[in-house]
Structure 1
Amino acid sequence: MSTTASATTPLVQPPRWALLQRELFALLDQGWRRFEELYCASDGSLVYAGRTFGRDGVDDFYEPFFNWPMLYLLGGADDLLDACKRHWHGVTAQLTERGLLTNEFEDGYDWFHQGESLLFFYTLCAADPEYFRDRALRFADLFLPDSPVHNYDGRRRMMRAPHVGALGPRPGLGEDQPFSASNTGMRKYGLPLRDVRGILDWDDLAQPLLAHRMADAMNARLGVGDVPLNLASTSLATNAWLYDHDPRYSGFVKSYVDKWAGRTVDGLLPDNVGPRGEVGEMHGGRWYGGHYGWTWPHGLYSVLAPALIGASNATVVSGKDRPLSLPRDMIKAILGYARHAAMDPDDATFFDHWQERLGDGVHDELLLVPYRRDEKGWFDFQPLPPAYLAWLWWLTRSVEDRRLIERIAAGSGYEWPTVRDFREKEEAGHEPPWLTYLLGDNPDWPEEALEMAIRQVRVRLRLMEEHPTPPPDDNIHWWQELNPVVTEVLTQLIAGAPQMLYNGGLPYSQLRWTDALRNRPGLPEDVAALVEQLDDSTVTVQVLNLGAAQQLLRLTGGGYGEHPFTELTADGVTMPVDQSLLVDLPPRTRIRLRLRFQRFGRRPAHQPRGL
């Protein structure tokens, strides 16, 4: 049984946001096709004659396509899904030939990078789950307690190394060369280890003996045991669980996240667990100092993100919000060290990043939190990334987390309603104006955000024409910097969700749209949608048909059907929603739907392509 809502309001003058949304879809279609023409071989691989180095590089070959399946899910071209599959297969074969994959999965590397490379795979599974079923289960099995490659120690509930994958736990960090002062790109992060004999500052690494000593120490101490980054592996297991709800996968997710949560120190995750399962085992008892931890290189950025990813996955497989206390407590704890000050360019490692976001406002007095800690205390003070606050509130919809956002916004030192014109490879960071819109302010956000997104696509289209060749050297980041597909704003507008967390988050959403006449995901051509309001039990969305043909959409609560609708109000009439909701759109009509839903009222599951 289905409940049908029929649009009856004539669309006399289309709103500007709707016209801009359709213009953006058209530009994106032009963009991905041009990217293929310039940079891809016929088998879908990237045209590249340069080198890859050591264990690094897998993520950089998948990342140029990471959000293409999301565009398809939102309403991109019919042939985009086949293109995405071709690129996944082509790049997978390309990386296998280069010796970086075994049985289609990464041999073994840190989950900061593995999480990035798997975003493409996760969104492909959401777009066409049955096509990728066998791979999704096979990949997740690599990290379960009974895996024959032994990545995970089920007794200690820990990964056996920071670098894990198809070949099992790989010892060390692959630092087979000296960690030299000539590695200028890493200088701003300082010494990876602060207690190596004879090495007091970065310039000491100019001595070959000391550079070799640092590399040996990194392999021996940073390259063993467990680190918070490995929490991102729970996305792989959750993605597999969404097929058949195999308790092996959900059990691993809940157990592993719970184990890490039990290790917190004053609300903060420690960043290292030694081979025997003890915090600080390789670092003189210190809870900080591990690989991609609080001391080096990125601190908060690479500790809080996996905590959010792991907690969100544990919440999805359990239907309970309790795991989300982990990232919430971390945010509150780090805010306890906050200060209002101007950023110090010599201390803030992401200063250029914030300058791109805030422009001249980067020099103002801002609310800063410490990203890193060593034996001297907290340092590297920068603004708290708004994506983390957005995801925490979006996952819980709690009054507590909404008030936390309002408090941070009021004291941040910059205007949250302002739509800022920047684009980063994560294709995120525009959460503040969207959140202020959803929370009842900032009425101009839809048009301003779409205009910004259109400008960003046009910039990439121009850059591609200015750089029409494959990378001229060994630059494996070449394609990420040219990817013309932008989906952050469309995800906010149409799916009512933040952009997926970049280092390994799954593509969760509030709404999933299906073109019921063509039996495929996404909005049909000439249809536009805008999520106008969202709280813990209701979502309001406006949907309209700009074209001359009848359209029929199926609307699902939750990207995996986990938030079923219970009640619909439209045109002043309220009615219960039965098994599913159909939206009937005669030519040039519009309708505003206020939908009541039950959070986690249904067990999440991969949705067949036509649902």
Structure 2
Amino acid sequence: MTGPITTVKASIPLLQPPPWALLERKLIEVMEQSVYPYLARYTRSDGMLIWRDDQPYETRDGADDFYESFYNWALLYLLGGADHLIELAERQWDAVTQQLSRLGLVHKEYERGYDQFHQGESSIYFYFLCMADPTNSRLIERAKRFAGFYVNEDPDAQNYDPMRRLIRAPHTGSTGPRWGYFYDKVAYSWTADMEPYGLPYLDVEGVGSYEDLRDSVLAARMGEVMQERMGKGDVATNLIVTSLVANAYLLTGEEKYRRWIVEYVAAWQERARQNGGLLPDNVGLSGRVGEYIDGKWYGGLYGWSWPHGYYNICMAAIVGATSAFLVTGEKKYLDLPRAQIDCIHKLGQTYTIGELASSVGRFWIEMQQQYGPERTIFLVPYRYNDNGWFEYLSPSSVYPVSLWNMTQDSEDWARVEQARRASLVDWCEVVPFRNKEDAGHELPWLCFLKGKNPAYPEQILSESYGQVARRMEMIRCDDSDLRQVSIHHWQELNPVLTEALVQLTLGAPQIIYNGGLLMCQIRYFDVQRRRPGLPPDVAALVEKIEEDHIVVRLLNLSVFDERDLLLQAGAFGEHEFRNVQYAERLSQYPGPHGPAGYAAPELKTENRTLSMADQLLRVVLPPASEITLTLGIARFVNIPSYRQPWERLC
């Protein structure tokens, strides 16, 4: 898009800064400084994590956990954090990649071969780097190389079968399909960590319960079955690869990446249609569903049976559909995750808590104590095996919220409401916790957007500040021998927590942690510093999101300096602003000095509306000023790109 950018200038004086604005800027300040003591405690001078590098690491699992320790530092930079964040984020990516290459997990700067449920967790780090620094030639080359492993551009990594439109194995990467499930010894032995997930298969002779896997002979027998059934062919979780290819498209705009995404997602949509709407979780190398599992549509790696079922199947469906929708603008692809949500909801049942407490476990006994045994609750099944549907849980709001974030369609909001009606949780309550995904507060945020939870911004920012403070104290108190700790040790102490800032400033829920792209209503660019993110002293709050407009409030807390920023419609400029409404001051300000000027004059304003058709809007904020913008928006009308807007500025 060319031509001058529409500019509005704030004229409303900021005389009483709201608490949320002060908290927002303080949270950014605290987190951008928190990375220094974290690095000092857990990394060497070259950035590599302090760990047992001198010991052999004979497993396929774990590379993602190293990357996850720093995954959102570039995101904090994108939100407005200090310049050192992107420098450190790029340094740490390089250091971890070098460390994992020495351990044998990474080749050509990408995992040798593992499942996409895990690889997706580390890939989000790379996507944030590319979004933050899209002209970096090293990142562009890497993005094309990584996507090339699945577009079959690397002769050593022919992961994709274009004739049958399938990825050839559940474990893939820079060395091509990594056949089999196990690294060396083929046996699935009993471990406490995996006990909650039970048996992968129920038809293995002699294995009737998870406890039977303590027997080495039976563990080997189960391992052989898993090796055969999970060691080759495509699985639904591979839909997460589409983000990797979309990332290359967003950097380069090359049509081959768009074609691949459309082709691959369409293949899975067709398989789901033939299965009554539900995604089958496994496809053999011939293209036949259930080829290695007696024709069954369930039983693949990270599938419906084991270990998580709906939890990761719906994640993959959303990631794949989002990629296809983003590069085409065609909503039909979103029918794939919609079908998963709707099918699972139709299978739900209503129970009394007393029924569950008597047979399921401690969680429901605690619920009975809180609500009473006669309280009813709606549950949906998450997993399916030879005995039918099982593992009934409350329907997650994460999936319909992610869909609604993409479309703002009334039908997708109805799915969110469906989850709310089934919940026993107070949707307005801000619970002080953080899960691995740095998420979990979607519900009170949605209530705020709908005008039912006005205190939410202050509450979630305060909660976030408290979590950062706690993690900093945990780092100070950490006397662990870092050569012996779990590979999850560092990620659990990462002091950068961005959920609140993503919600409040970008108007978006947390990304799908297992490989999703950042899909948001609005982004910011600092004109004076020529970089992404909010300028210093500027606080932002997306107050409302509707299908055809959003409302955002911007404040300049500096009483000394003017701030100049660009607002972009969508994470990738995929949307377009059609008009902007705001209030303009008519009264005098600051007024006279002397005895008659102890109080500012009464504020008088009039509403202004400007028509436009642009993915960018420029906003000038004089010292101590504010402006509330109602932005009319047309969604998914532009070609998405990581391109930054500097060529549009004179």
What range describes the TM-score normalised by the shorter chain of this pair? over 0.9
2:566 is the alignment partner of 1:566: no
Aligned counterpart, 1:126: 131
State how far apart, in whole Å, the 1-side matches of 2:247 and 2:217 are.
46
Are the counterparts in 2 of residues 514 and 610 from structure 1 also a CA contact under 8 Å? Answer: no
| C-alpha spacing 1:346/1:62, structure 2 compared with 1 (3 Å) | farther
Are the counterparts in 2 of residues 512 and 557 from structure 1 also a CA contact under 8 Å? Answer: yes
- One-letter code of the match for 1:6? K
State how far apart, in whole Å, the 1-side matches of 2:165 and 2:281 are.
15
Aligned counterpart, 2:199: 191
- One-letter code of the match for 2:294? G
2:603 is the alignment partner of 1:598: no
- One-letter code of the match for 2:557? L
Aligned counterpart, 2:144: 137
| C-alpha spacing 1:360/1:425, structure 2 compared with 1 (3 Å) | farther
Query: How far apart are 1:176 and its partner, in Å?
Result: 2.7
State how far apart, in whole Å, the 1-side matches of 2:242 and 2:195 are.
32
State how far apart, in whole Å, the 2-side matches of 1:442 and 1:168 are.
50
Could you list the per-position Cα deviations for residues 244-275 of structure 1 after superposition, in whole angstroms to 9, with x for gaps in the alignment? 32121111111111110111122211111112
Larger radius of gyration: 2
State how far apart, in whole Å, the 1-side matches of 2:36 and 2:340 are.
42
Aligned counterpart, 2:209: 201
State how far apart, in whole Å, the 2-side matches of 1:327 and 1:268 are.
9
Q: Secondary structure at the residue paired with 2:194?
A: helix
State how far apart, in whole Å, the 1-side matches of 2:464 and 2:60 are.
34
Aligned counterpart, 1:586: 622
Q: 1:476 aligns with which of 483, 487, 506?
A: 487
Q: Secondary structure at the residue paired with 1:130?
A: coil
CA RMSD of aligned residues (A): 2.3
State how far apart, in whole Å, the 2-side matches of 1:79 and 1:193 are.
49
Query: How far apart are 1:359 and its partner, in Å?
Result: 11
State how far apart, in whole Å, the 1-side matches of 2:43 and 2:287 are.
45
Query: How far apart are 1:243 and its partner, in Å?
Result: 2.1
Are the counterparts in 1 of residues 576 and 613 from structure 2 also a CA contact under 8 Å? Answer: no
Could you list the per-position Cα deviations for residues 298-337 of structure 1 after superposition, in whole angstroms to 9, with x for gaps in the alignment? 1111111000000000000001111000101110100011
Query: How far apart are 1:118 and its partner, in Å?
Result: 0.7
Aligned counterpart, 1:291: 301
Q: Secondary structure at the residue paired with 1:484?
A: coil
- One-letter code of the match for 1:173? Y
2:119 is the alignment partner of 1:103: no
Q: 2:98 aligns with which of 85, 93, 101?
A: 93
State how far apart, in whole Å, the 1-side matches of 2:634 and 2:60 are.
44
Query: How far apart are 1:178 and its partner, in Å?
Result: 5.2
Aligned counterpart, 1:392: 403
Are the counterparts in 2 of residues 546 and 587 from structure 1 also a CA contact under 8 Å? Answer: yes
Q: Secondary structure at the residue paired with 1:513?
A: strand
| C-alpha spacing 1:465/1:365, structure 2 compared with 1 (3 Å) | farther
Q: 1:33 aligns with which of 27, 32, 36?
A: 36
Q: 2:50 aligns with which of 47, 50, 54?
A: 47
Moved more, 210-219 or 155-164: 210-219
Q: 1:282 aligns with which of 275, 292, 295?
A: 292
Are the counterparts in 1 of residues 499 and 510 from structure 2 also a CA contact under 8 Å? Answer: yes
Are the counterparts in 2 of residues 338 and 369 from structure 1 also a CA contact under 8 Å? Answer: yes
Q: 1:501 aligns with which of 512, 523, 530?
A: 512
| C-alpha spacing 1:162/1:314, structure 2 compared with 1 (3 Å) | same
Aligned counterpart, 1:304: 314
Query: How far apart are 1:182 and its partner, in Å?
Result: 3.5
Aligned counterpart, 1:576: 611
Runs of 5+ consecutive residues of structure 2 not aligned to the other structure: 584-606
State how far apart, in whole Å, the 2-side matches of 1:112 and 1:357 are.
31
Query: How far apart are 1:347 and its partner, in Å?
Result: 8.3
Query: How far apart are 1:502 and its partner, in Å?
Result: 0.6
State how far apart, in whole Å, the 1-side matches of 2:43 and 2:151 are.
35
Query: How far apart are 1:357 and its partner, in Å?
Result: 13
State how far apart, in whole Å, the 1-side matches of 2:551 and 2:426 are.
25
- One-letter code of the match for 2:637? G
Query: How far apart are 1:181 and its partner, in Å?
Result: 4.6
Are the counterparts in 2 of residues 347 and 380 from structure 1 also a CA contact under 8 Å? Answer: no
State how far apart, in whole Å, the 1-side matches of 2:359 and 2:295 are.
26
TM-score, length of structure 1 as denominator length: 0.96
2:564 is the alignment partner of 1:556: no
Matched-pair identity in %: 43
Could you list the per-position Cα deviations for residues 13-35 of structure 1 after superposition, in whole angstroms to 9, with x for gaps in the alignment? 10011111112112212322221
Aligned counterpart, 1:437: 448
Aligned counterpart, 2:497: 486
2:423 is the alignment partner of 1:412: yes
State how far apart, in whole Å, the 2-side matches of 1:207 and 1:584 are.
70
State how far apart, in whole Å, the 2-side matches of 1:40 and 1:344 are.
47
Alignment of 1:62-461 (within 5 A): 62-131=67-136, 132-145=139-152, 147-148=154-155, 149-177=157-185, 179-264=187-272, 265-341=275-351, 342=353, 344=356, 365-461=376-472
TM-score, length of structure 2 as denominator length: 0.90
State how far apart, in whole Å, the 1-side matches of 2:408 and 2:264 are.
24
Aligned counterpart, 2:597: none
Could you list the per-position Cα deviations for residues 111-150 of structure 1 after superposition, in whole angstroms to 9, with x for gaps in the alignment? 0111011111011001001211111011101101554221
Are the counterparts in 2 of residues 160 and 275 from structure 1 also a CA contact under 8 Å? Answer: yes
State how far apart, in whole Å, the 1-side matches of 2:265 and 2:403 are.
16
Q: Secondary structure at the residue paired with 1:452?
A: helix
Are the counterparts in 1 of residues 60 and 183 from structure 2 also a CA contact under 8 Å? Answer: no
Query: How far apart are 1:36 and its partner, in Å?
Result: 1.1
Query: How far apart are 1:187 and its partner, in Å?
Result: 1.1
- One-letter code of the match for 1:123? F
Runs of 5+ consecutive residues of structure 1 not aligned to the other structure: none
- One-letter code of the match for 1:61? F
- One-letter code of the match for 1:491? V
Could you list the per-position Cα deviations for residues 472-504 of structure 1 after superposition, in whole angstroms to 9, with x for gaps in the alignment? 514100011101111111001011111110110
State how far apart, in whole Å, the 2-side matches of 1:227 and 1:285 are.
14
Alignment of 1:8-23 (within 5 A): 8-23=11-26
Q: Secondary structure at the residue paired with 1:481?
A: helix
Q: Secondary structure at the residue paired with 1:577?
A: strand
- One-letter code of the match for 2:553? Q
State how far apart, in whole Å, the 1-side matches of 2:546 and 2:278 are.
28
Query: How far apart are 1:365 and its partner, in Å?
Result: 4.4
- One-letter code of the match for 2:261? V
| C-alpha spacing 1:63/1:174, structure 2 compared with 1 (3 Å) | same
